[in-house]
Structure 1
Amino acid sequence: MSSESKATKLRARDLVSTAQLIFRHAELTLSRFLPDSELSRLNQKGYIEQSSPLFFECVNAALKMAELTRGIFDPTILDALEHAGYDRSFEQIGTLAPGLATKMNTFRPPSHHYVELNHARRSIQLAKGARIDLGGIAKGMIVDRVAAVIQGQGFKDFMVSAGGDMRLGGNQPGKNGWEVDMQNPITLEGTLTTLSVTEGAVATSSTTRRRWLKGNQLHHHLIDPRTSEPVNNGLAAVTIVAPTTMLADVLAKTALILGLEEGKEFISQQENCRVYMIDQEGRLV
């Protein structure tokens, strides 16, 4: 192996370590399941001043995405999520007794207008009783950050993947661009189609993965803010190809909540985006 190849390998290993640190820092800042995270402190107190740049940027991005999607993507759905049963990390759902949050009968309905930002002080104010969740958009943002670091080090061919959200650059080894297999979300087997992506991101939202029984009803984590209930409109999954991972993640959720026709129409209005929808019969639309 040439000295140049060895140096490239060492740089790549350093980038992997850097990526792990970026993800760990994001988790400590943005996870609602860590009681000492910045997000948990905001939800507990309703106000935070001089928030970290990462936290403020993520909340600000969430509000912008809420405006873009006309409120279909809404970061203030946390009460509705917990009411549906998603009140602990998904690995624990089904293994523990239901938490108190799942027994709430009333809660503040979602509205991104409950969040007020002051950019000069990097302060965040929540309306009384409002709480926010940043799960998907935070994951997308961090994947994009890691991709930017990789590109900044001169690497053109790369893939960053986190829980199904992917940012792709350059070429897959031996391929022209990247090939991404789309799995059947009903059977969790087989490939429905293969996407070809040269530069950009892929994200999928599905009602068939993160789901659980609450009482005798099947629930999942995709909440329609218009009803505060898990969405049920005949779609099983939506995959989006978009310029950034954060945008792809938000648009996948939005299109799934809007449903087949309205979702297709909304995505058609977004620049450089593609949408793939799968119904409850496993058919690719």
Structure 2
Amino acid sequence: MKLTNHAASDRLFTFRFRAMNTSIACTLAYESEEQADRLRRDAVSWFRYAEEKFSRFLPTSELVYLNRRAGADCLVSSAMLEVLQLAETYRRRTDGAFNPFILDALERCGYEDSFERLALADFMTACSPRELPALSADELGMHAIAINPRMKSVKLPAGTSIDLGGIVKSWAVRRLADWLRRKQRVTSGLVNAGGDLAAWSDGPGGDDSSEGRPWRIGIEHPRPEAESSHIGMLSLVEGAAATSSTLGRRWQTAAGPMHHLIDPVTLLPAESDIVQCTVSGGDPVACEVWAKTLCILGSASGIALLARKQPPIEALLFGRDREILFYGAAASIGSKWRDVPVTRLITARSTS
């Protein structure tokens, strides 16, 4: 997503950096240059901390340690405990479509190094998928993380390993945005980590009881050959959004093209009719999980799941056939979701 405008009287500054294998941009209201410098340092430090703790590519990370100890009880940090509880919650809410136990499948598809390094490799020679894991989809669906919140201990099933990349990124956005707003009294802000974002714009004097001015965020066009880089706009006074796509993190192998969204049924990159999904709601973690889930399941199964679970989200789905589906309230089209060429509207309590 791309920030296009924020018609506020606040003094705003924007800074960008890379962490967690993605581009991160923060636009924040500030009162002094000293405060701006401190907020910048704190934001960079926070994302570095999250990367060092949760990266599967850093041998010293807590996640790597936890995967190595699968089958044994492990004491974990408060941050790891929080993220694992979220992962288990959303695994259940999505009926297993979101599943952290797909690391073996990712690696067997060639995703064994950070995407930045894969992008520099000769895929056809350096990235050859190995045979699929012996683990069946049924067995994968039975896996759960045993969590003891009181003891701050967890246990992964023996012989398994997990990947927390997507949910950690959105969790890091949520935690930073909440800290900036509640603790640092930043009256307006947008934190965007590779399309997972949180935005807020408080009323006069930082009082969020009065509606602030909206952030206008461009929705990335799913087709790289398009004349414009974005297709429509999302208007947010306060909320979150996330975009997931099968077209972005792709790599070529001797067995054909691969991408990072693993279908837990086939243990291969998903091949649904949806190539990109943007979800908006109140929580960046929920938005990220549901955007990924809809890309994996596709329009029919994904929307049926939304109809059953009724999460407080709206979703814009881009089909392989170039159909653009919108799931949400009809009144949101033209107000919250602007200039989006929707071809099919599905209200939140209907699957017709």
TM-score norm. by structure 1 comes to 0.90
Matching residue of 1:169: 200
Q: What letter corresponds to residue 221 of structure 2 in structure 1?
A: N
Cα displacement (A) at 1:263: 1.8
The answer on whether the counterparts of 1:72 and 1:257 sit within 8 Å (CA) in structure 2 is yes
How many residues were matched structurally? 278
Matching residue of 1:155: 186
What secondary structure, in the 3-state scheme, does the structure 2 residue paired with 1:160 have?
strand
Matching residue of 2:324: 284
Q: What is the distance in 1 between the residues matched to 2:177 and 2:106?
A: 30
Q: Between Structure 1 and Structure 2, which shows a larger proportion of strand residues?
A: 2
Q: Which of 211, 216, 220 does residue 183 from structure 1 map onto?
A: 220
Cα displacement (A) at 1:89: 0.3
Q: What is the distance in 1 between the residues matched to 2:76 and 2:85?
A: 12
Q: What is the distance in 1 between the residues matched to 2:299 and 2:74?
A: 41
Bigger shift: residues 129-138 or 180-189: 180-189
What secondary structure, in the 3-state scheme, does the structure 1 residue paired with 2:312 have?
coil
The answer on whether the counterparts of 1:267 and 1:273 sit within 8 Å (CA) in structure 2 is no
Q: Which runs of 5+ in 1 are unaligned?
A: none
What secondary structure, in the 3-state scheme, does the structure 2 residue paired with 1:276 have?
strand
Q: Does 1:76 align with 2:104?
A: no
Q: What is the distance in 1 between the residues matched to 2:225 and 2:180?
A: 31
What is the percent sequence identity of the aligned residues? 32
Q: Does 1:20 align with 2:57?
A: no
Q: Does 1:238 align with 2:277?
A: yes
Q: What is the distance in 1 between the residues matched to 2:311 and 2:293?
A: 15
The answer on whether the counterparts of 2:177 and 2:198 sit within 8 Å (CA) in structure 1 is yes
Q: What is the distance in 2 between the residues matched to 1:116 and 1:108?
A: 19
Cα displacement (A) at 1:24: 0.8
The answer on whether the counterparts of 1:186 and 1:281 sit within 8 Å (CA) in structure 2 is no
Q: Which runs of 5+ in 2 are unaligned?
A: 1-28, 203-211, 326-352
Q: What letter corresponds to residue 92 of structure 1 in structure 2?
A: R
Q: Deviations over 1:170-200 (max 9, x none)?
A: 17xxx93111111221226423211112211
Q: Between Structure 1 and Structure 2, which shows a larger proportion of helix residues?
A: 1
The answer on whether the counterparts of 1:192 and 1:284 sit within 8 Å (CA) in structure 2 is no
Cα displacement (A) at 1:238: 0.5
Q: What letter corresponds to residue 113 of structure 2 in structure 1?
A: R
Matching residue of 1:251: 290
Q: Does 1:275 align with 2:312?
A: no
Q: What is the distance in 1 between the residues matched to 2:289 and 2:219?
A: 18
Matching residue of 1:211: 250
The answer on whether the counterparts of 2:127 and 2:253 sit within 8 Å (CA) in structure 1 is no
Q: Does 1:145 align with 2:172?
A: no
The answer on whether the counterparts of 1:71 and 1:112 sit within 8 Å (CA) in structure 2 is no
Q: What letter corresponds to residue 186 of structure 1 in structure 2?
A: R
What secondary structure, in the 3-state scheme, does the structure 2 residue paired with 1:180 have?
strand
Q: What is the distance in 2 between the residues matched to 1:193 and 1:281?
A: 19
Q: What letter corresponds to residue 223 of structure 1 in structure 2?
A: I
Cα displacement (A) at 1:156: 2.3
Structure 1 segments of 4+ aligned residues over 4 angstroms from their partners: none
